[in-house]
Structures are given as structure tokens and as C-alpha cells.
Amino acid sequence: MKKWLIAILMVALFVLVACSDSTEESSTENGSDSDDTEDVTEGASGEGKVTVWAWDMNFNIKALEIAKEHYQAINPNVEFEIIENAQDDIVQRLNTSLSSGTTRGLPNIVLIEDYRAQSFLNAYPDSFHPITGAFNADDFAPYKLAPTSFGGENYGLPFDTGVTGLFVRTDYLEEAGYTADDLSNIDWHEYIEIGKDVYEATGKKMITTDPSDLGLIRTMIQSAGSWYMEDDGVTPNLANNEALKASFEVYKEMVEADIMGFHSDWSQFLQGFNSGDVATVQTGNWISPSIRAEDSHAGLWKVVEQPRLSGVEGAVNASNLGGSSWYVIDIDGKEDAVDFLAQTFGSNVDFYQDLVTEIGAIGTYSPAAEGDAYQLEDDFFQGQSIIATFSEWAEDIPQINYGMHTYAIDDILVVEMQNYLNGKDLDDALADAQAQAEASLN
């Protein structure tokens, strides 16, 4: 009997030692016992469920579906629930939940527009999971890092770029004696002079804009490395903002030259260029599919750099409008969520080739630009490799801090822009905007 008990104890001891050795080996492989703090995907089970919120079925949701296919090829046991919500609904639901101190019902991953990211990170820093080290930040367009970071940590995995360009109708330019090259690497004043000639020769407005949306102004000031806020992202920077003042002057000059048309909604914006009523479209690269939607215009368009502000230090022919990034909520399952992002949006060149090929989405992951899909020539745009071109311009976009109140300040400036167009002194208009922002936002 004693020999039998001793045998059992020896077997049990052997099993415990073996399990201990196995656990130690596994921990070392995952980095938990090393000084390698870069491995933030430690703890990913590879068997969990990841829930994601995003908007736009044909763009962001489709991108997630493609990412899921790539990830499940190596981690087939991870389940995904991808839920489409309107962007405004996502903003409202996040604010409602996080302000109440609860994360119940929230997803593991949420898409947040870059303009809004700092407001969430400042207001609810403990609700988001830092992903520093899960990806190589140096592999992404530099301008995406400031809005996605907070307190020295990376919180957002950069996704799409809103790198801007100037889409031009070459047939209209030719009627006025110009080529697309004449609009390349120019400033806004040169653009206006060309616009006058185009309008005289063709009767076509050079550009159309929504007076209630100052996206055009935002692209102008970012091209000069400036924004509505100081570098701290909190203090309004309007009254003495050289780039903002120059942008207002350019806007008014275009209105007075009668080369600017106006629209009031998205459908009118699309109608403006699809019907042939405008000679150029200045906006983010994401408009390309909408321009391409008019088959009869194939071969009539080309893309050149956005004009720069003249007389403003640091102004370049590159800017951004829009764009968003992925954030991980600090709830159970965050490790699998981080691992999913790291192995798809954070590092997978083949995945980005599929994004370009299947939905025309241009990410900000720089190594992807070397892939074959980025080099393809587009017959609609006269054989230009527009994906590679936009990716190159994205590297030149000035890096700024969008801060917390982009859209609130936009609303203030929309009113002051109309006052300025109606005769108010520009310095007074921007000083009043500054006072309103300081009173209402601080």
C-alpha cells in the first residue's frame, strides 16, 4: 500500500513539474517574463469574440470584413460582430455610456473620426486601452499620430487618409489655354487667376463649396501647419492665426471673382461635378469613386496637388480632410482586439492591397504604398497612378493637434465668414470668433 501511494505521489509531482516548465516556456515566448514592453498583444486568446462599431457599409464596414478574412486565416477561432452605426450615433452612444461611467454594451473596437478623437481621449482617458507598441508608429503617415495619441501613448491605430488633391477637368482647362500641369504646385492666388480665365472661356465655376461647412478653410490652414487650436489642443487660436486670416482672404477673393459656386448638401455637391458644372474639385482622395461614377467623363479628369497659401511660412501643397482611426475600449477582450488590429491594419501589406483593389481605400500605412495595387494606372484619370500619388502626398501633410473643438469652432467661424463677406473687418471678425470660442469652450 505504501509503495502504491508513493508511486501516485511521484506521478503527481512529475505532472506538476512538467506543467510548471510548460507555463514558464509559454510566458517567455509571449514576452511576459522579458523586458520587451512592446508586446501589448500578450494575453490574446485567439478564441474570443471581437465586436466592432463603424459607419459606412461600403467603405469602413467593407474594410473590416476584409480585415476579418485576413485575421481568421491565422486565427480561425476568433469570432467577430461588426455593427454598422451612423457616425453621429456612435458619437452619441459613446458619450452617453462613458460619461455615465459604464462600458456595458460598448464594443471592443470603435472607429472615431480624427477631428473628434482628442475630445474623447481628454474626456475619458481611462476608458480607452493604449496600444503603444502593438504597431510601428513610424510606418504610418506622421500627420496621423498627433490626433491618435494622448499623454505620450498611442491610442488609435491609424486607418484611412483624407489626403487632399485638386481634381481638374482637363477639357475645360484646354478651352482656356491651360493644361493640368499649369495647376500643379501653385498657390491659391494663381489658382484664382486661372479660374477667371476658365470661367470666361467656358462659363463654368472653378469650384463649389457649402457655406455652412468650412472644410475648404480647414484644408488651407492645415497645409500651413496651423489649426483652430494652439498646440495644446485646448486654447483657441483664431484672432492672431496667420494661416486662418490668409484662408479667409482667399475664400473672399474667390467669391468676389465669381469663380465659386455654392451647394447646400452632399447630393448637390456630387451633382456639381458629375453634371459638368465645375472645372475643379478640391477635397479628400475619398471623392475619387464619386467622380469616377460618371462614366461619360472617363479620360477628362486628372489630379494635381492642392494649391498652397502664399505668404504664409511653412505652407505646402498638401493637406488633409477627414480620415479616421481605430480605438480599443478598455473592457474584456481588449487583448484580442489589439491583436486583430496589429495583424491587419497595423502591419499587413497584402491586406492593404486588397483594400485598394476592392474598395479603393487608401490607408496611411506607408509600406503598403510599395505594393503592386498602389501602382496601378487609372484610365479614368488619363493613366495616372492616383493611389501612389495620393500616398506620396500624404507623407507631406503637416502634423498638427486637432484638439477638442473642431466642429464647435467651425460653427462660430461660419457666422464670422458671412459677416466678413458682408463687409466686416477681418481682424474684427476673427477677434470676435476668438472671444466667442474662449467664452463657450473653456
What 3-state class would DSSP assign to 409? helix
49-54 and 109-113 as β-strands: parallel, antiparallel, unpaired?
A: parallel
Lowest mean pLDDT among 19-23, 144-148, 363-367: 19-23
Q: Does pLDDT of 334 surpass 70? A: yes
> Which stretch of 23-27, 66-70, 290-294, 334-338 has the lowest confidence by average pLDDT?
23-27
Closest listed residue to residue 324, CA positions, set 165, 162, 146: 162
Three-state secondary structure call for residue 15: helix
Residue 11 has pLDDT above 90, yes or no: no
Domain positions in the chain: 49-162+321-383, 164-319+405-437
Confidence of residue 277 (pLDDT cuts 50, 70, 90): very high
Please give the Cα distance from 131 to 149 (Å, whole number).
Answer: 10
Q: Which residue has the cell 461600403?
A: 58
Give the SS3 label for residue 215.
helix
**Intrachain domains 49-162+321-383 and 164-319+405-437 with the same fold:** yes
Mean pLDDT of 26-40: 35
Average pLDDT rounded to a whole number, residues 340-367: 96
Fill in the amino acid letter for 148. T
Q: Measured between alpha carbons, how far is 98 from 248 in angstroms, rounded to an integer?
A: 37
Tell which residue, 259, 150, 152, 158, has the closest CA to residue 209.
259
Distance (Å, whole) CA 381 – CA 289: 11
> Right CATH number for 49-162+321-383 from 3.30.465.10, 3.90.850.10, 3.40.190.10, 3.40.366.30?
3.40.190.10
Indicate the average pLDDT of the chain: 90
Residue 123 phi, psi (nearest 5) = -80, -35
pLDDT of 44 reads 62
Q: Write out pLDDT tens, residues 225-242.
A: 999 999 999 999 999 999
pLDDT (tens digit, 9 = 90+) per residue, 173-224?
999 999 999 999 999 999 999 999 999 999 999 999 999 999 999 999 999 9
* The model's pTM: 0.86
pLDDT-derived band at 441, boundaries 50, 70, 90: confident
55 Cβ contact partners less than 8 Å away, ≥ 6 residues apart: 61, 84, 85, 86, 87, 90, 111
Q: 274 is written with which cell numbers?
A: 458629375
Burial of 286 (0-12, 13-18, 19+ CB in 10 A): buried
Ramachandran class of 193: left when φ > 0, alpha when ψ lies in -120 to 50, beta otherwise: alpha
Supply the pLDDT for residue 9: 37
pLDDT of amino acid 380: 97
% of residues, the chain, pLDDT over 70: 89
* DSSP annotation of 84: E
More confident position, 360 or 250? 250
Q: Tens digits of per-residue pLDDT, 37-70?
A: 344 455 665 668 999 999 999 899 999 999 999 9
User: Alpha helix locations (H) across 257-296?
Assistant: 266-274, 288-292
Check residue 271 and give its pLDDT. Answer: 95
What lies within 8 Å, CB to CB, of 297 at 6+ separation is 169, 274, 276, 291, 380
- Chain position carrying cell 484644408: 219
| DSSP count for the chain of H helices, then E strands | 16, 12
Please spell the DSSP secondary structure of 139-152, one letter per residue.
GB-GGGTTTTEETT
User: Above 90 in pLDDT, residue 13?
Assistant: no
For residues 112 and 120, the answer to whether their CB atoms sit within 8 Å is yes
pLDDT attached to residue 133: 97
Query: Is the pLDDT reported for residue 23 higher than 80?
Result: no
Residues contacting 312, CB < 8 A, separation 6+:
224, 242, 243, 246
pLDDT at 12 over 60: no
* CATH code, 164-319+405-437: 3.40.190.10
pLDDT score, position 48: 86
- Say what the pLDDT of residue 46 is: 62
Contact 81, 296 (CB under 8 A): no
CB 420 within 8 Å of CB 252:
yes
For the chain, percent of residues with pLDDT exceeding 90: 86
The answer on pLDDT for 36 being more than 70 is: no
The span from the CA of 366 to the CA of 296, in Å, is 33
